[in-house]
A and B are shown apart, each in its own frame.
Chain A
Amino acid sequence: MLNNNSIREKIDTIIKDNVDKREHINLEGTFEDIGVSSLCFVRIMVEIEIQFEVEIDDKYYTAEFKNIGEFMDKIIDYLSGGDSHGN
Protein backbone atom coordinates (compact mmCIF):
# COMPACT_ATOMS: atom_id res chain seq x y z
CA MET A 1 0.00 0.00 0.00
CA LEU A 2 1.28 3.46 -0.90
CA ASN A 3 1.84 6.03 1.80
CA ASN A 4 0.42 9.54 1.54
CA ASN A 5 3.71 11.12 0.45
CA SER A 6 4.09 8.68 -2.38
CA ILE A 7 0.46 9.27 -3.50
CA ARG A 8 1.06 13.03 -3.33
CA GLU A 9 4.18 12.72 -5.46
CA LYS A 10 2.36 10.74 -8.15
CA ILE A 11 -0.58 13.17 -8.25
CA ASP A 12 1.84 16.07 -8.41
CA THR A 13 3.53 14.49 -11.43
CA ILE A 14 0.18 13.94 -13.17
CA ILE A 15 -0.79 17.59 -12.65
CA LYS A 16 2.63 18.80 -13.88
CA ASP A 17 2.32 16.63 -16.99
CA ASN A 18 -0.94 18.41 -17.83
CA VAL A 19 0.20 22.00 -17.47
CA ASP A 20 2.64 24.23 -19.29
CA LYS A 21 6.20 23.44 -18.16
CA ARG A 22 6.66 27.10 -17.17
CA GLU A 23 3.81 26.96 -14.65
CA HIS A 24 4.68 26.72 -10.99
CA ILE A 25 2.15 24.73 -9.00
CA ASN A 26 1.09 26.73 -5.99
CA LEU A 27 -1.06 24.76 -3.55
CA GLU A 28 -2.83 27.96 -2.52
CA GLY A 29 -3.75 28.68 -6.14
CA THR A 30 -6.55 27.21 -8.24
CA PHE A 31 -6.40 24.97 -11.29
CA GLU A 32 -7.60 27.89 -13.38
CA ASP A 33 -4.54 29.88 -12.24
CA ILE A 34 -2.26 27.34 -13.92
CA GLY A 35 -4.35 27.11 -17.08
CA VAL A 36 -6.16 23.87 -16.28
CA SER A 37 -9.61 24.02 -17.91
CA SER A 38 -12.52 22.01 -16.53
CA LEU A 39 -12.04 19.43 -19.28
CA CYS A 40 -8.33 19.17 -18.52
CA PHE A 41 -9.24 18.73 -14.85
CA VAL A 42 -11.32 15.67 -15.77
CA ARG A 43 -8.36 14.33 -17.74
CA ILE A 44 -6.16 14.70 -14.64
CA MET A 45 -8.75 12.77 -12.64
CA VAL A 46 -8.89 10.00 -15.25
CA GLU A 47 -5.10 9.75 -15.21
CA ILE A 48 -5.23 9.45 -11.42
CA GLU A 49 -7.79 6.64 -11.77
CA ILE A 50 -5.56 4.82 -14.25
CA GLN A 51 -2.44 5.35 -12.13
CA PHE A 52 -4.07 4.01 -8.97
CA GLU A 53 -6.41 1.54 -10.70
CA VAL A 54 -9.54 2.87 -8.97
CA GLU A 55 -12.79 4.43 -10.12
CA ILE A 56 -13.03 7.68 -8.18
CA ASP A 57 -16.49 8.63 -6.94
CA ASP A 58 -18.33 10.99 -9.33
CA LYS A 59 -18.70 13.60 -6.60
CA TYR A 60 -14.96 14.38 -6.81
CA TYR A 61 -15.40 15.21 -10.47
CA THR A 62 -18.10 17.76 -9.82
CA ALA A 63 -16.89 19.16 -6.49
CA GLU A 64 -15.64 22.73 -6.23
CA PHE A 65 -12.20 22.78 -4.60
CA LYS A 66 -11.01 25.94 -2.87
CA ASN A 67 -7.49 25.43 -4.23
CA ILE A 68 -5.09 22.78 -5.49
CA GLY A 69 -3.96 22.00 -1.94
CA GLU A 70 -7.50 21.13 -0.87
CA PHE A 71 -7.92 18.98 -3.99
CA MET A 72 -4.69 17.09 -3.20
CA ASP A 73 -5.66 16.52 0.43
CA LYS A 74 -9.14 15.23 -0.44
CA ILE A 75 -7.96 12.94 -3.21
CA ILE A 76 -5.09 11.56 -1.10
CA ASP A 77 -7.55 10.96 1.71
CA TYR A 78 -9.87 9.16 -0.72
CA LEU A 79 -7.14 7.04 -2.27
CA SER A 80 -5.69 6.05 1.08
CA GLY A 81 -9.14 5.01 2.29
CA GLY A 82 -9.58 7.89 4.74
CA ASP A 83 -12.83 8.97 3.10
CA SER A 84 -14.09 5.36 3.18
CA HIS A 85 -14.70 5.89 -0.55
CA GLY A 86 -18.02 7.48 0.26
CA ASN A 87 -19.63 10.58 1.65
Chain B
Amino acid sequence: MAIDIQPYHKKGYLCIDDIIVSVADYFEKRHIFMHTKGLNFTYSPKIVKGEGVLKRIRTSCNYPTNIKDFLTELNYLQDFVGLHIDFISSLPKLELINYIEDSIEKNHPVAIISNTYYVPWHDQYYKKVNKLHAFLVIDIDINQKYLLCIDGYLSDKPVKLPFEDLLLYTDILIFKSINSKKNLSLPNILSQITNGLTDNHKLDNCDCIRLFAEDVTNITFLETEKQRYRDLDHSDFMIGLKSIEFGRKNLGDLFYYLSDIFIEYRDIMLLIQSKIESITEQWRLVIVFFVKGFYSDQTTYYMKKAAEQLLDIANNEEDVTRCILSLVHKSSYKIEK
Protein backbone atom coordinates (compact mmCIF):
# COMPACT_ATOMS: atom_id res chain seq x y z
CA MET B 1 0.00 0.00 0.00
CA ALA B 2 1.56 3.28 -1.13
CA ILE B 3 1.80 6.33 1.10
CA ASP B 4 -0.03 9.21 -0.54
CA ILE B 5 2.59 11.96 -0.26
CA GLN B 6 2.90 14.66 -2.88
CA PRO B 7 6.22 16.10 -4.11
CA TYR B 8 6.99 19.54 -2.73
CA HIS B 9 9.71 22.07 -3.40
CA LYS B 10 10.16 25.66 -2.34
CA LYS B 11 12.89 27.95 -3.62
CA GLY B 12 15.81 27.95 -1.22
CA TYR B 13 14.82 24.71 0.48
CA LEU B 14 17.32 21.88 0.72
CA CYS B 15 16.17 18.37 -0.17
CA ILE B 16 15.73 17.57 3.54
CA ASP B 17 13.53 20.67 4.00
CA ASP B 18 11.28 19.52 1.14
CA ILE B 19 11.02 16.09 2.74
CA ILE B 20 10.08 17.47 6.15
CA VAL B 21 7.39 19.69 4.61
CA SER B 22 5.98 16.82 2.51
CA VAL B 23 5.79 14.52 5.52
CA ALA B 24 4.47 17.23 7.86
CA ASP B 25 1.72 18.09 5.37
CA TYR B 26 0.89 14.41 4.97
CA PHE B 27 0.44 14.09 8.75
CA GLU B 28 -1.37 17.48 8.81
CA LYS B 29 1.30 19.12 10.96
CA ARG B 30 2.39 22.77 10.97
CA HIS B 31 5.76 22.63 9.28
CA ILE B 32 6.47 26.36 9.77
CA PHE B 33 7.91 25.52 13.19
CA MET B 34 10.79 23.74 11.49
CA HIS B 35 12.30 27.20 10.93
CA THR B 36 13.16 28.05 14.53
CA LYS B 37 16.85 27.42 13.86
CA GLY B 38 16.97 30.00 11.09
CA LEU B 39 19.38 32.33 12.88
CA ASN B 40 21.97 29.63 13.49
CA PHE B 41 25.42 29.63 11.94
CA THR B 42 28.21 27.09 11.91
CA TYR B 43 31.22 26.39 9.76
CA SER B 44 34.04 23.93 10.00
CA PRO B 45 36.94 23.41 9.81
CA LYS B 46 38.70 26.76 10.08
CA ILE B 47 39.77 28.29 6.78
CA VAL B 48 43.50 27.97 6.21
CA LYS B 49 45.27 30.44 3.95
CA GLY B 50 46.34 28.84 0.68
CA GLU B 51 44.07 25.81 1.05
CA GLY B 52 40.81 25.39 -0.84
CA VAL B 53 37.42 26.02 0.72
CA LEU B 54 34.82 24.63 -1.67
CA LYS B 55 35.42 20.99 -0.79
CA ARG B 56 36.89 21.19 2.71
CA ILE B 57 34.75 23.80 4.42
CA ARG B 58 31.10 23.23 5.28
CA THR B 59 28.82 26.08 6.24
CA SER B 60 25.44 25.39 7.75
CA CYS B 61 22.33 26.87 9.32
CA ASN B 62 19.62 24.34 10.25
CA TYR B 63 21.51 21.11 9.84
CA PRO B 64 24.76 19.77 11.23
CA THR B 65 28.00 20.04 9.29
CA ASN B 66 28.50 16.38 10.19
CA ILE B 67 25.90 13.77 9.16
CA LYS B 68 26.56 11.73 12.32
CA ASP B 69 24.85 14.49 14.33
CA PHE B 70 21.75 14.38 12.15
CA LEU B 71 19.39 12.67 14.55
CA THR B 72 20.19 14.87 17.55
CA GLU B 73 19.80 17.94 15.36
CA LEU B 74 16.38 16.88 14.10
CA ASN B 75 15.00 16.17 17.58
CA TYR B 76 13.61 19.69 17.80
CA LEU B 77 10.92 18.74 15.27
CA GLN B 78 9.19 16.77 18.04
CA ASP B 79 8.44 19.91 20.06
CA PHE B 80 6.09 21.91 17.82
CA VAL B 81 5.93 20.20 14.42
CA GLY B 82 5.07 16.82 15.98
CA LEU B 83 7.43 14.62 13.99
CA HIS B 84 9.59 11.94 15.51
CA ILE B 85 12.52 10.91 13.32
CA ASP B 86 14.68 7.81 13.67
CA PHE B 87 18.03 7.71 11.93
CA ILE B 88 19.30 4.27 10.99
CA SER B 89 22.78 4.06 9.64
CA SER B 90 24.44 1.69 7.14
CA LEU B 91 21.69 -0.84 6.55
CA PRO B 92 22.70 -3.64 4.19
CA LYS B 93 20.65 -3.64 0.98
CA LEU B 94 18.40 -6.61 1.72
CA GLU B 95 17.63 -5.44 5.25
CA LEU B 96 16.93 -1.97 3.91
CA ILE B 97 14.34 -3.29 1.46
CA ASN B 98 12.61 -5.30 4.17
CA TYR B 99 12.73 -2.34 6.53
CA ILE B 100 11.17 0.00 3.98
CA GLU B 101 8.41 -2.48 3.16
CA ASP B 102 7.60 -2.80 6.84
CA SER B 103 7.67 0.98 7.42
CA ILE B 104 5.36 1.71 4.51
CA GLU B 105 2.92 -0.90 5.86
CA LYS B 106 2.96 1.00 9.17
CA ASN B 107 2.42 4.33 7.41
CA HIS B 108 5.87 5.59 8.40
CA PRO B 109 7.45 7.47 5.48
CA VAL B 110 11.12 6.67 4.94
CA ALA B 111 13.73 9.01 3.52
CA ILE B 112 16.77 7.49 1.89
CA ILE B 113 20.01 9.40 2.33
CA SER B 114 21.88 8.62 -0.82
CA ASN B 115 24.42 10.03 -3.20
CA THR B 116 23.59 11.92 -6.39
CA TYR B 117 25.96 9.62 -8.25
CA TYR B 118 23.36 6.85 -7.84
CA VAL B 119 20.17 8.88 -8.36
CA PRO B 120 19.04 8.07 -11.93
CA TRP B 121 16.55 10.96 -12.21
CA HIS B 122 19.26 13.50 -11.39
CA ASP B 123 20.20 14.23 -15.01
CA GLN B 124 23.08 16.54 -14.14
CA TYR B 125 24.79 14.45 -11.45
CA TYR B 126 23.90 10.79 -12.16
CA LYS B 127 27.13 8.81 -12.62
CA LYS B 128 29.03 12.10 -12.52
CA VAL B 129 28.89 13.93 -9.20
CA ASN B 130 29.09 12.60 -5.63
CA LYS B 131 26.89 14.70 -3.37
CA LEU B 132 24.69 13.87 -0.44
CA HIS B 133 21.02 13.78 -1.43
CA ALA B 134 17.82 12.59 0.25
CA PHE B 135 14.38 11.64 -1.04
CA LEU B 136 11.26 9.85 0.21
CA VAL B 137 10.08 6.34 -0.55
CA ILE B 138 6.31 6.00 -0.88
CA ASP B 139 5.96 2.49 -2.26
CA ILE B 140 7.90 -0.64 -3.06
CA ASP B 141 7.46 -3.17 -5.86
CA ILE B 142 9.22 -6.37 -4.90
CA ASN B 143 8.37 -8.15 -8.17
CA GLN B 144 9.57 -5.35 -10.45
CA LYS B 145 12.43 -4.62 -8.03
CA TYR B 146 12.08 -0.89 -7.59
CA LEU B 147 11.16 1.76 -5.01
CA LEU B 148 8.63 4.42 -5.91
CA CYS B 149 10.02 7.69 -4.62
CA ILE B 150 9.11 11.34 -4.15
CA ASP B 151 11.91 13.82 -4.76
CA GLY B 152 10.30 17.26 -4.83
CA TYR B 153 13.73 18.87 -4.96
CA LEU B 154 14.28 17.40 -8.43
CA SER B 155 10.96 16.24 -9.83
CA ASP B 156 7.29 17.10 -9.54
CA LYS B 157 6.30 13.51 -10.32
CA PRO B 158 7.00 10.22 -8.51
CA VAL B 159 10.20 8.56 -9.71
CA LYS B 160 11.45 4.97 -9.69
CA LEU B 161 14.65 3.80 -8.03
CA PRO B 162 15.67 0.31 -9.20
CA PHE B 163 17.06 -1.87 -6.41
CA GLU B 164 20.32 -2.01 -8.36
CA ASP B 165 20.80 1.72 -7.77
CA LEU B 166 20.51 1.35 -4.01
CA LEU B 167 23.84 1.72 -2.29
CA LEU B 168 25.23 -1.39 -0.62
CA TYR B 169 24.91 0.29 2.78
CA THR B 170 22.43 3.09 3.14
CA ASP B 171 21.33 5.54 5.83
CA ILE B 172 17.64 6.22 6.27
CA LEU B 173 15.31 8.48 8.23
CA ILE B 174 11.98 7.12 9.43
CA PHE B 175 9.23 9.62 10.14
CA LYS B 176 6.53 9.05 12.73
CA SER B 177 3.64 11.32 13.63
CA ILE B 178 3.51 12.17 17.34
CA ASN B 179 1.68 14.69 19.50
CA SER B 180 3.76 17.85 19.78
CA LYS B 181 5.84 17.61 22.93
CA LYS B 182 5.48 21.25 23.93
CA ASN B 183 2.59 23.63 24.26
CA LEU B 184 2.38 26.22 21.56
CA SER B 185 3.17 29.19 23.79
CA LEU B 186 5.31 32.14 22.78
CA PRO B 187 7.92 31.61 25.54
CA ASN B 188 8.27 27.96 24.46
CA ILE B 189 8.79 28.84 20.80
CA LEU B 190 11.22 31.64 21.61
CA SER B 191 13.07 29.33 23.93
CA GLN B 192 13.62 26.89 21.06
CA ILE B 193 15.10 29.75 19.04
CA THR B 194 17.38 30.92 21.86
CA ASN B 195 18.42 27.34 22.73
CA GLY B 196 19.55 26.93 19.13
CA LEU B 197 21.58 30.12 19.42
CA THR B 198 23.11 28.93 22.68
CA ASP B 199 24.13 25.65 21.02
CA ASN B 200 25.77 27.69 18.26
CA HIS B 201 27.54 29.99 20.78
CA LYS B 202 25.60 32.81 19.21
CA LEU B 203 23.25 33.97 21.95
CA ASP B 204 25.59 36.37 23.75
CA ASN B 205 27.28 37.71 20.65
CA CYS B 206 27.91 36.93 17.00
CA ASP B 207 31.67 36.63 17.28
CA CYS B 208 31.50 33.36 15.34
CA ILE B 209 30.43 35.40 12.30
CA ARG B 210 33.21 37.92 13.01
CA LEU B 211 35.74 35.09 13.10
CA PHE B 212 34.33 33.80 9.84
CA ALA B 213 34.70 37.30 8.36
CA GLU B 214 38.34 37.35 9.43
CA ASP B 215 38.87 33.90 7.88
CA VAL B 216 37.13 34.89 4.68
CA THR B 217 39.80 37.47 3.89
CA ASN B 218 42.25 34.54 3.66
CA ILE B 219 40.25 32.69 1.03
CA THR B 220 41.98 31.80 -2.19
CA PHE B 221 40.36 29.63 -4.83
CA LEU B 222 42.79 27.01 -6.07
CA GLU B 223 43.07 26.31 -9.79
CA THR B 224 41.95 22.74 -9.14
CA GLU B 225 38.84 24.08 -7.38
CA LYS B 226 38.11 26.43 -10.25
CA GLN B 227 38.08 23.52 -12.66
CA ARG B 228 36.19 21.12 -10.45
CA TYR B 229 33.55 23.58 -9.24
CA ARG B 230 32.85 25.53 -12.40
CA ASP B 231 29.26 24.99 -11.36
CA LEU B 232 29.32 26.24 -7.77
CA ASP B 233 26.11 24.34 -7.03
CA HIS B 234 28.32 21.29 -6.38
CA SER B 235 30.02 22.95 -3.43
CA ASP B 236 28.77 22.23 0.10
CA PHE B 237 30.37 25.49 1.18
CA MET B 238 28.16 27.50 -1.18
CA ILE B 239 25.05 25.40 -0.58
CA GLY B 240 25.55 25.97 3.14
CA LEU B 241 25.71 29.72 2.59
CA LYS B 242 22.48 29.58 0.57
CA SER B 243 20.83 27.66 3.41
CA ILE B 244 21.97 30.37 5.83
CA GLU B 245 20.39 33.03 3.63
CA PHE B 246 17.12 31.12 3.34
CA GLY B 247 17.26 30.09 7.01
CA ARG B 248 17.02 33.80 7.87
CA LYS B 249 14.21 34.32 5.38
CA ASN B 250 12.25 31.38 6.77
CA LEU B 251 12.71 32.58 10.35
CA GLY B 252 11.37 35.96 9.23
CA ASP B 253 8.34 34.16 7.78
CA LEU B 254 7.89 32.33 11.10
CA PHE B 255 7.81 35.65 13.00
CA TYR B 256 5.26 36.95 10.51
CA TYR B 257 3.16 33.83 11.12
CA LEU B 258 3.49 34.20 14.91
CA SER B 259 2.47 37.85 14.72
CA ASP B 260 -0.98 36.65 13.63
CA ILE B 261 -1.25 34.23 16.55
CA PHE B 262 0.20 36.29 19.41
CA ILE B 263 -1.33 39.57 18.36
CA GLU B 264 -0.44 41.48 21.51
CA TYR B 265 3.21 41.21 20.43
CA ARG B 266 2.50 41.85 16.76
CA ASP B 267 4.48 45.11 16.49
CA ILE B 268 7.70 43.75 17.94
CA MET B 269 7.39 40.56 15.89
CA LEU B 270 6.90 42.50 12.68
CA LEU B 271 9.89 44.64 13.63
CA ILE B 272 11.97 41.49 14.13
CA GLN B 273 10.72 40.16 10.81
CA SER B 274 11.73 43.31 8.95
CA LYS B 275 15.19 43.31 10.58
CA ILE B 276 15.65 39.66 9.56
CA GLU B 277 14.54 40.51 6.03
CA SER B 278 17.38 43.04 5.72
CA ILE B 279 19.83 40.49 7.10
CA THR B 280 18.63 37.99 4.48
CA GLU B 281 19.51 40.51 1.77
CA GLN B 282 22.94 40.95 3.32
CA TRP B 283 23.62 37.19 3.27
CA ARG B 284 22.58 37.17 -0.36
CA LEU B 285 25.18 39.84 -1.03
CA VAL B 286 27.85 37.82 0.79
CA ILE B 287 27.10 34.96 -1.60
CA VAL B 288 27.27 37.33 -4.56
CA PHE B 289 30.74 38.48 -3.45
CA PHE B 290 31.90 34.87 -3.08
CA VAL B 291 30.66 33.98 -6.53
CA LYS B 292 32.17 37.13 -8.04
CA GLY B 293 35.45 36.42 -6.30
CA PHE B 294 35.39 32.90 -7.69
CA TYR B 295 34.64 33.79 -11.31
CA SER B 296 36.25 37.18 -11.74
CA ASP B 297 39.92 36.71 -10.75
CA GLN B 298 39.57 39.51 -8.19
CA THR B 299 39.26 37.18 -5.23
CA THR B 300 41.02 39.38 -2.66
CA TYR B 301 38.88 42.41 -3.52
CA TYR B 302 35.59 40.51 -3.29
CA MET B 303 36.56 38.53 -0.18
CA LYS B 304 37.25 41.85 1.52
CA LYS B 305 33.80 43.05 0.50
CA ALA B 306 32.26 39.79 1.78
CA ALA B 307 34.12 40.18 5.09
CA GLU B 308 32.87 43.76 5.52
CA GLN B 309 29.33 42.62 4.86
CA LEU B 310 29.73 39.78 7.39
CA LEU B 311 30.90 42.20 10.10
CA ASP B 312 27.79 44.26 9.48
CA ILE B 313 25.65 41.11 9.58
CA ALA B 314 27.20 40.17 12.95
CA ASN B 315 26.09 43.54 14.40
CA ASN B 316 22.62 43.23 12.91
CA GLU B 317 22.12 39.66 14.09
CA GLU B 318 23.14 40.70 17.60
CA ASP B 319 20.49 43.40 17.38
CA VAL B 320 17.86 40.83 16.35
CA THR B 321 18.91 38.52 19.20
CA ARG B 322 18.46 41.41 21.64
CA CYS B 323 14.95 42.00 20.27
CA ILE B 324 14.13 38.31 20.64
CA LEU B 325 15.44 38.27 24.22
CA SER B 326 13.39 41.32 25.03
CA LEU B 327 10.35 39.50 23.67
CA VAL B 328 11.25 36.49 25.82
CA HIS B 329 11.25 38.69 28.93
CA LYS B 330 7.99 40.41 28.00
CA SER B 331 6.11 37.23 27.20
CA SER B 332 7.46 35.28 30.22
CA TYR B 333 6.72 38.19 32.56
CA LYS B 334 3.15 38.30 31.30
CA ILE B 335 2.69 34.59 32.02
CA GLU B 336 4.17 34.92 35.55
CA LYS B 337 1.84 37.83 36.27
Residues of A within 8 A of B (CB): 32, 37-40, 42-43, 45-47, 49-50, 58, 61-62
Contacts and interface: CB of A to CB of B under 8 A. Distances in A.
Interface in B213-242: 231-233, 238, 242
Given A32-B11, A37-B233, A42 B281 contact: no
A62 to B, nearest CB: 5
10 contacts: A32-B11, A38-B242, A39-B232, A40-B232, A46-B295, A47-B295, A49-B292, A49-B296, A61-B284, A62-B284
A42 B288 contact: yes
A17 B183 CA distance: 53
A33 to B, nearest CB: 12
A16 to B, nearest CB: 16
B284 A39 contact: no
A79 B284 CA distance: 22
| Chain B interface extent, by class | 10 to 19
A50 B292 contact: no
B226 to A, nearest CB: 12
Question: Looking at A39, A40, A47, which has the most chain B CB atoms within 10 Å of its CB?
Answer: A39
B288 A40 contact: no
Given A32-B11, A39-B242, A46 B291 contact: yes
Contacts of B295: 43, 46-47
Nearest 4 interchain pairs by C-beta: A42-B291, A61-B288, A46-B295, A39-B232
A62 B242 CA distance: 13
Contacts of A43: 232, 291, 295
A42 B296 contact: no
Contacts of A42: 287-288, 291-292
Contacts of A39: 231-233, 238, 242, 287, 291
A24 B238 CA distance: 27
A38 B285 CA distance: 12
Interface in B253-296: 281, 284-285, 287-288, 291-292, 295-296
Contacts of B292: 42, 46, 49
A62 B291 contact: no
Contacts of A37: 233
Contacts of A46: 291-292, 295-296
A32 B10 CA distance: 11
Contacts of B281: 62
